[in-house]
Structure 1
Amino acid sequence: MNIFVGESWIEFIAQGIDVNPSLSNDAVSEHVAPLIAEIVSAVRNAPAPEKLWVAPASTGILPADCSVYATADEFRSEFGTAEEVLISDGNDGEGWGIDNAAWTIVGVDRCMWVPESTGQTWPLYITALPGGEWGYDRSSVFMTADGTVQAVSVIGAERATFGCHVYSGFCTLDTVIAGNWVQLSAEQALIGAAGDVQALLIGIVERAVPRFSA
């Protein structure tokens, strides 16, 4: 359910609601109506938001062209495919939702490499938050807490962590590059062991960073 309150967009998603499966959609909506009303009230009565955050002037410039990270030929070589590859910035309007809106407002960059046979899946994708070093530093404390994500060394990056995620089947390299938070994710099943994915993603960063200013 999507609700617009003042200048706020609320997306309401609920799972595991304790109701009879035979109930109609209207009956379920009536069941959760008090909770939704409470959320709407809390948002409506919240203080006005502060001015939108902007990246510091000292932040390095990220590439506007996704192929700076990996060209189609480089992707085909690294993922062992001869297919045509679409390189997209993810701004084609599909799947538009609250996450996409938030990313657009704060200026998140997105890049996806999509072989023609994969449909809606993205074997490699990159998201980058200009000036997002602060976000990386806060999240890395939690990412590394249980030992599944570990700090790694990447030439061209000030800091980096790497880990694979069983629930998604993807491995992720989070980096800080010139004050920006740049996150690279790849589908592990297409590459091999976690170490292979780590080497591939680190290689992409170390090849791409010198191109940023080209």
Structure 2
Amino acid sequence: MFTGIIEEIGAMRRISRQGQAMVLSIGAKRILEDVHLGDSIAVNGVCLTVIAFDSDSITVDVMPETFRRTNLRKLAVGEPVNLERAMSAQGRFGGHIVQGHVDTTGTIRSRIPEENAVVYTVEPADPAALKYVIPHGSITIDGISLTVVQVTDSSLTVSIIPHTLAQTVLKWKQPGDEVNLECDVLGKYIEKLLLSRQPGESAAPTGRLTASFLAEHGFM
């Protein structure tokens, strides 16, 4: 599990690709302080497993499902990437619950300065993901925990403070660029609970919860 607080910007060193499988070597510094084989590292918000490391880089595998679902397939040697280690039990929860499981990619449609901030509008490749996005809720963009400003039927908007812009790859992102999106996992579980039922169970009432439904499912 991650928090969406980026620890450092790494650089792509080597990319080996065979079909839709890739092996990435990424230059890093801070995340190497306590790295071990098998550790989880979020690369642009994608949870990947460390298969090798040395004094200044890590190596990770990318399987076909990850290749198809994320923007990692478009990486080039020398390109910067956001890096975050998995959250430790002693760490501060500075962002929100981030799994590193990308729901869909999105395309930046606009980047507009607003006084000390920069406002990004992003259009998801899969518009269905927007049902999990609410104004002032959480969204992960390329691994960065951000607060949603607005949501429409086809896009979402976030406002980036100077510190976040300076410390992440968003400072290089422009309209037309592709980013990874992970929606708040809480909404997905709530939806699953409300839509799922075993034979003989009552269905959840459309659009609302009742005391009887909550009691039946162990919440009361």
Report the TM-score, using the length of structure 1 for normalisation. Answer: 0.29
More helix by share: 1
Larger Rg: 1
More strand by share: 2
Report the TM-score, using the length of structure 2 for normalisation. Answer: 0.29
Larger RCO, structures 1/2 (Cα 8 Å, 6+ apart)? 2
